[in-house]
Amino acid sequence: MLLYGGNRKGNDLAKLRFIKKHNEYQIDYYRNGKRIRRYLGPDKKNAEKELKRVEALIKAQKLGFELTQPQPASAYHTSSPKVPATKESETGSGDRHIAISRAIELYLDRCQGAVESGNITKKTYGYKVSLLKGRFSDFLRKKFPELQFLDETQKVHIEGYRAYRINSRNKTAPNRKIKPTSFNNDLRELIAFFNYCIDNNKTFHILLNPASKVAKVQKADQDERPPRLTKEQIAEVLEKCSSDIELRSIIETFLETGVRYNELRNLRWQDVDLQKNMITVKSREDFMTKSRKSRSIPISGRMRELLKVIPRRSEKLFDLNNLERPKAKKDNLCNIRKRFLQIKKQLPFLRQGERFHIFRHTAITRWANSGVPLPIVQKWAGHSSVEMTMKYVHPSEEESAKWMERFSKEEKNA
């Protein structure tokens, strides 16, 4: 229930709404171009009072005042005998400091609420937990055991984590280091965590983001184009799958539609419209597409043939949900990844860490290089930007020569 309007990006007004699911009021506003949402409790009068306070502070911020958040009573943790959650400042001013572990708990609690309200996915939440409670916390305990409080965290600590992370090994391929994207994703999440703490600085007592000026890891000067298979390699993969009809059908579906693995798992027969010749990929109650948007992919001639032979085991196009069931029948597809692993062992051009995603890359590359307009390729692939689609455009020298020859002929005839 919306109580007060406004709240477009750049608007001075805040917005107050009642969230029935949590039985709490939520305030929603923008600060320096960043959206901030906080729960205020079930009391309407207190919520309206906070709304007026925030609106006054937003206006005052233009004059140089710092916009702060209210301090919840449960912000400090005092039960741990090893690491006190608060301390008196060395200046004797009575300022309170919060332990890093406690700050992470509070942040993840808020993220858990965001999962329940549908603002972030469970997968995103799981990533936040594995980073903040796992990799990052473990690193600080080992390398900086004296660092206990959030406001003591400095740029040097984040840079130390950067050096540690970029020298880590890939889990699926221990002989290789992690990709630059792995640390850059961690850095983005750390920046978001510290920004949240700054936006609630009466709780977390931190004014500067130690991660904001840490440099991303630059990609090496190498071919960064997505991996893809040649026509000959595709034929070899399908040849190896000739005795496994289900696996072959799945691989061909990836090649014909370019869908992601989880999108394929959640495709249903009702999403297939043979009259309109379209397959619709969309979010559901228990599944969300990567871009959170629906898209339609035209059915190719080969895909139409596949749809005639794929068995209807359930409402899903491929029933791949029981991947971990130990006593699986050979034909129920729950061990599909293991079967693909057996194929990979026979094909040296499929790298150790390669998964089904390479067939998506291959499909998009084929579309992009065959002359399909990039905006259409972007739509079929579900990319958020055409810049992402551009990565898949890498015509061969023969194709490049053909286009130049065609251009020369058109110039002569003009």
| Domain co-membership, 110 together with 176 | yes
Q: How far apart are CA 271 and CA 288, in angstroms?
A: 15
Q: What is the count of structural domains for the chain?
A: 3
Task: Indicate yes or no: pTM above 0.95.
Answer: no
Q: Is 409 domain-assigned?
A: yes
Domain that holds residue 391: 231-413
H or E element at residue 36? strand 34-41
Residues 160 and 265 grouped into a single domain: no
Q: Could you tell me if residue 275 is inside a domain?
A: yes
Q: What is the CA radius of gyration of the chain?
A: 26
* Residues 370 and 301 both lie in one domain: yes
Q: Which of 5, 39, 60 is the last residue of a domain?
A: 60
Amino acid (one-letter) located at 108: L
Domain final residue, candidates 185, 204, 223:
204
Shared-domain flag, residues 278 and 136: no
Mapped onto helix, strand or coil, the DSSP state of residue 286 is: coil
Given this model, what pLDDT does residue 65 score? 52
pLDDT tens, N- to C-terminus, the chain (414 residues): 444 444 444 455 788 888 876 677 888 887 767 778 787 777 788 788 888 887 777 776 656 555 444 444 333 333 333 444 444 433 333 445 789 999 999 999 999 988 888 788 888 999 999 999 999 999 999 999 888 889 889 999 999 999 888 888 766 666 667 788 888 999 999 999 999 999 988 889 888 899 998 988 886 644 456 678 888 999 999 998 888 888 899 999 999 999 998 899 889 999 999 999 999 999 887 788 888 889 999 999 999 999 998 888 888 888 765 444 445 554 455 577 788 888 888 888 886 566 888 899 999 988 988 888 899 999 999 998 888 888 877 766 777 787 788 888 888 886
The answer to the question of residue 147 being in a domain is yes
Residues 107 and 185 in one domain: yes
d(CA 353, CA 347): 13
Kindly state whether residues 121 and 244 are assigned to the same domain. no
- Quote the DSSP letter at residue 269: G
Residue 366 placed within a domain: yes
107 and 177 fall within a common domain: yes
Tell me, yes or no, whether 294 and 389 share the same domain. Answer: yes
Residues 29 and 126 reside in one and the same domain: no
pLDDT of residue 408: 86
Residue 297, judged by CB atoms within 10 A of its CB (0-12, 13-18, 19+), counts as buried
The Cα 347–Cα 237 span in angstroms is 8
Residue 215 lies in a domain: no
Kindly write down the DSSP assignment for every residue of 300-367, as one continuous string.
Answer: PHHHHHHHHHS---SSBSS----TT-SS--TTSSTTHHHHHHHHHHT-TTS-TT--THHHHHHHHHHH
Bridge partner list, 177: 169
Residue 84 resides in a domain: no
